[in-house]
Amino acid sequence: MVIGSLMVGAFACKVLDVDADIWWYVILAISVWVMYTADHILDAWRGKKTSTILRHQFHYTHRYMIIPVWIILALSSVFLSLFVLENEIIFLGMALSLCIMIYFAVIYFNRENRPYFLQKELFITLVYITGIWLAPMVWHSGLPSSIIMIIIVNLVLLGWADGIIISWFELEEDTIDNHVSFTVLFGKKNTLRFTILLLLIVFCLSLTGLIMATNLIMRAAFVIELLMILSLAIIILFPHKFEHEQLYRYMGEGVFLLPGLILLV
């Protein structure tokens, strides 16, 4: 996921035609690790030794080693941001961080697992894509064109679909551990239908973008998003091939390495 965020970051900079300092990539990698590790630690802490999900078991078993590292890296990300990034990016980053803290507070104190609070996959995707595109959008200066907005919307929908697919495979574990995932809320059949709908929407938007594209970079961006659709579609078309050893998760996260292909253009 961390490497994927760097690839999406490079993708954003290329699409927006901006240059990023190496320190921005360092801050981005640390921030993504901190956010996802916080989510895993919270889930692990709630499930404790009874969790059936391996990554939650790992984070709970090794919590006394992971939490100090998490604190150090979280503080490092803050201090690096203050010294390296522009004030506008810091302010927007603080607003995003506040949203994340509110979300984690709701997750922790919401013991009854009320569904309307917990569309987890969508929230995490919005934070992920917003956090990556935030600085490049500031450097771009000015409102993004409609074609760039299509690219960003596609990434959000693809990230959401990826998270939903993972929840589809992990329905049994999430049910046992009392986690409210998309599939727990809506069932496997409805989840599969909705995922297919999301991919079809992205497919249509990508084709529209290809028609509208006026330069090679934009056309390459939409071709990459079409490859991402194909990769996710393969997972849901052949689920039995990806059940073993959590291949669905590796494949799903690997999809976000594909935006790095734009560096070849």
Question: What does the alpha-carbon distance between residue 15 and residue 248 come to, in Å, rounded to a whole number?
Answer: 29
Question: What does the alpha-carbon distance between residue 118 and residue 177 come to, in Å, rounded to a whole number?
Answer: 15
Lowest-pLDDT range of 114-118, 183-187, 234-238:
114-118
Question: What does the alpha-carbon distance between residue 112 and residue 115 come to, in Å, rounded to a whole number?
Answer: 9
For 230-265, the pLDDT digits (tens) are 999 999 999 888 887 778 888 888 999 999 999 998
Q: What is the mean pLDDT of residues 43-49?
A: 61
In order of their start, the domains of the chain are 2-264 (1.10.600)
Q: How confident is the model at residue 67 (pLDDT cuts 50, 70, 90)?
A: confident
Q: What is the mean pLDDT of residues 26-33?
A: 92
Question: What does the alpha-carbon distance between residue 131 and residue 32 come to, in Å, rounded to a whole number?
Answer: 9
Contact 14, 217 (CB under 8 A): yes
Strands (DSSP E) found in the chain = none
- What's the token pair of residue 12? 């954003």
Q: In which element (H, E) is residue 8 found?
A: helix 2-16
